Every structure is written in structure tokens, then in C-alpha cells.
Amino acid sequence: MVTNAVNIACELAGLPGIKVMLCGGMLDPGSFELVGQLVSKALEGIFIHKFFVGTDGITIDNGLTNRSESEATAARELTVHSGQTILLADHQKFIRSNLARVIPAEKISTIVTTKKVPASTLLEFSELGIEILLASSEKMERF
């Protein structure tokens, strides 16, 4: 498992069968993410099958965005090294753009969200070829 988030690495470190690679960089105290040029260097020669990413905003026109340019740059670098980019976003993140673009919407493989996102919004993303998974406390279902 590869991450630039120190808090995620700590949560997973003690689980049996999981090896954690933490990308180096400067610690962002607000997000507990490692950011900066060392993230890129740490990823040289690395392939990530599935990259799970959060966001501060997602729109059709602006794609995946973040309030922090350094966090966006780190996330963008991780997507370059991944086979699939899977967005985890609650309903409040949709139709909201922020300062720094991570990737265009078309580069997202799958969006995992809740039924609180309007169906019309999910349909727009689905029409780009993005798989939509709706999570609830009981189960996961396709849109």
C-alpha cells in the first residue's frame, strides 16, 4: 500500500498482511499529508494499481480540485503512477471547485459516494465513462 498520508499509514501499519510505503516530503499539518518534490522522487519506479483519493471539490469542467496547491501536486503525482484513480467523495464535494486542479474528471476511474448526490450530477460523470458506486451503511451498489 502506497500513501503520502501519515495518518493513513499509521492506521494500516499494524494490520496483518499489509505493507505500507510512505512517500517522503514535507508534512502538511492540516492534512497530515507529505507534500513537495520528495513525493515525486519516492514514486520513481513505483506502480500503484489502485489510488484512492479524496478531494475538496469535483466538477465536470474543472475535474478534481484541492484548496492546497501542494496537496494537489502530490495527488497528481500519485495518479501518474496508478492504474486506477478511485475518488472517495461525499455529496458536499460535488459541483464545487477549488484553487488547484489535480486531474480532469475524465482521468477518474471510479467515484465512490452516497445517494445524497443528485442523480443528474452522477449521470454527467457516468457519461464520461466513470464507474459510480453508491455507498451506504448496509451495502455498496452501482449507479
pLDDT digits (tens, 9 = 90+) for 64-80: 999 999 999 999 999 99
**Residue 137 pLDDT greater than 90, yes or no:** no
How do 110-113 and 131-135 pair as beta strands?
Answer: parallel
Give residue 140's pLDDT.
79
Q: What average pLDDT is seen over the chain?
A: 94
- The radius of gyration computed from the CA coordinates of the chain, to the nearest angstrom, equals 15
Give residue 14's pLDDT.
87
Q: How far is CA 65 from CA 58, 82, 97, 123, in A?
A: 6, 18, 6, 20
**Mean pLDDT score, 107-131:** 97
pLDDT tens digits, residue range 28-45?
999 999 999 999 999 999
Q: 143 pLDDT band (50/70/90 cuts)?
A: confident
Q: How far apart are CA 94 and CA 82, in angstroms?
A: 23
Give residue 138's pLDDT.
78
Q: In percent, how much of the chain has pLDDT > 90? A: 91
Q: Are the CB atoms for 53 and 75 separated by under 8 Å?
A: yes
Chain-centre distance for alpha carbon 15: 22
Q: In percent, how much of the chain has pLDDT > 70? A: 100
